[in-house]
Structure 1
C-alpha cells in the first residue's frame, strides 16, 4: 500500500479514537468521579508508555527548569484539565453535542494563539473560527424550551466540554513555548506521568473506593487509557510521519463525525438537524483552516 495512504489511514483511525472518547466518557461519568477516572487513566497509560520507550531505546530529555514548569502546566491543562472537564460535561451534555464541540479544537487553538501571542490570522483562519463558533452555537442552543431544567443542564454540560477544548488548546500553545523540543514518545510519557501526579491528590478527596463498583465505568477508563491515549499516539505519529501537517490536520474532521455517529449507534441518542448542521459548520471550519495553511506553505518555502 502507498505510504501516503497508510498515513491517511493511521491518522484517520487516531481521530476516530479521539471521537470515541466523547462517547466512552459518558459511561465513565456515570460511575466514577472525574479526578479519580483521570488518575486511573494515566496510572494505566504511564507504564505502557515507559515500556514502549524501553523497547525503542528512547531516553528522557534533559530540560531546563523553565521547560519543566511548562510541562507541568501542560499536564495540568491538556492532560488533567481536558479529561476532568470532558467527563464532568458528559454527565450533563449529549454525546452528539459534545462531539461537535470537540471538533472545534483547530479553530479554538488558533483563537487562543491569536489572543495569547498576538498572532495575525489569515482570512481563512478567521473564516474557520467563525464557522466553528457558529457550529457550537447551532448545536448548543437547539433546545425547544430554554427555560426547562434539562435545557439548562445541557447548556452547562456543553460549557464544560468547551472548557475541555480550551484546555487542550492551551496544551498546544504551551508546547510551542518549550525551548527544548521534546520528541512525541517521551512527551506523551511525561504528560501521562505528570497528569497522574497532578490528578492523584484531588482524586483522593473524591474517595472513589467508597462508591459502588461500576464495571462499565472501569472498562471505559481502561479503553480510554489504552486505545485513544496509547494506541492513538502510535497511530497519529506513525501517520503524521507519512503525510504533510496540513493533510494530517484535515483528518481532525473525523472527530465530530465519529463522535456523533457513535452517539447514535452505541448510545442510541437521537441526532437532530441542528446537531448535523453543527457538524457541517465544524467540518467547514477544519477545511478552511487546513486549506488556508496549505496555500501558505509554498509562499513560506519560496
Structure 2
C-alpha cells in the first residue's frame, strides 16, 4: 500500500470517528447532563494526551498571555461549547439530522472568516453557502418523521458555529504550537472550563445510565484521542486539499451510523440535505485546489 493510499485510509477512519461522535452524543444525552459529560470526556482524554506527549518527546512552547487567552477562549467555544451544545441538541433531535447539520462546518468556518476577518467572498464560497443552507433547511423544517426538532437542530448549528470560531481563533495564535501539544492544552483547558458548571449540574442530574458512561469513555478515547492520531497521520501523507476533501465523509458516516446503530429512519429530507452539504464541501475544496494549482504554475 502506497503512502498516499495509507493517508486516505487514515483520513477516512478519522472522519468515521467524527461521525460516530453524533451517535455517542445521542447516547450521552439520554443519561448524562452535558457539562458533566464534557468534564468527564476531558478528564479521560487529558492524561492520555500527556502520556502521548511524553512518549513522543513533544514539548509545550513558551506562550504569551495573548496566546494563553486565545487558547482559553478556544477551549470554551470549540471544546466545551461544541460538546455541550451537541449533547443538548441531540436530546431534542435525531442523530441523522444532527449529522447533516454538522457537515456544514467547513462552509460555516469560511463564512465566519468573511464576517469577522472581512475577507472578500469568492463566488465558489457563495455557492457553497447557498448549497449548505439548502441542506440544513431540508431537514430543519421537516421534523417529526425522523424524530427531528427545530430547536434541537438549532442547538446543533450553534455547536457548529462554536467549532467554526475555534478554527478562526486558531489563526490568531502567535506561537507555533505542535498539534499534539495543542490537543493536550485543549483537553486541559476544556476540563477546567467544564468542571465548574458540572459541579452545579450534578445535584439536579437525573439517573445516570451505564450506556451514557460507556459512550463518554468512547468519545474521550476514540474520536478525541484516536481521531486526532488518525487525522494527523493521514494529513502527513497527503496534500492539504486532499485532506480537506475527507471532511465531507463526517456527515455521511453520522447518518449511516444513525441508521445502522440507532435504527433511526433515514428519509428523503436527510438524503437531500446530505447531498447538498456534500456538494457544498466538495465544490469548495475543488475550487481551492484549482486556485492552488494556478498559484503553483500548474506543477
TM-score by length of 2: 0.96
Give the paired residue count.
297
The answer as to whether partners of 1:96 and 1:260 remain within 8 angstroms in 2 is yes
CA deviations on 1:240-282 (whole Å, 9 max, x unpaired) are: 0111111111101111110111111111111110110000000
Match of 2:5 in 1: 5
Residue deviations 1:128-186, cap 9 Å, x none? 111111100001111379xxxx98x7000000000000000000000011111211000
SS at match of 1:31: coil
* Alignment match, 1:118: 118
Under a length normalisation based on structure 1, what TM-score does the superposition of the two structures give? 0.95
Tell me the equivalent position of 1:66: 66
CA contact under 8 A between 2:32 and 2:208: conserved in structure 1? Answer: no
The equivalent position to 1:195 in structure 2, one of 190, 196, 201, is: 190
What is residue 291 of structure 1 aligned with on the other side? 286
Gaps of 5+ in 2: none
What is the deviation of 1:21?
0.4
Out of 260, 265, 271, the position equivalent to 1:265 is: 260
Following superposition, the deviation at residue 239 of structure 1 comes to 0.3
Q: Distance in 2 between matches of 1:278 and 1:211?
A: 34
Over the residues paired in the alignment, what is the CA RMSD in angstroms? 1.5
Answer yes or no: is 1:36 the counterpart of 2:21: no
Offset from partner CA, 1:18-37 (integer Å, 9 cap, x none): 01101110110001000000
Matches for 1:233-272 after TM superposition, within 5 Å = 233-272=228-267
**Counterparts of 1:38 and 1:288, CA distance in 2:** 34
| Contact kept in structure 1, 2:143 and 2:150, CA below 8 Å | no
Matches within 5 A, 1:22-101: 22-101=22-101
Moved over 2 A (4+): 208-213, 298-302
1:132–1:281 contact (8 Å) kept in structure 2:
yes
How far did residue 120 of structure 1 move?
A: 1.2
Q: Is the aligned partner of 1:133 residue 2:133?
A: yes
Judge conservation of contact 2:26–2:95 (CA < 8 Å) in 1.
Answer: yes
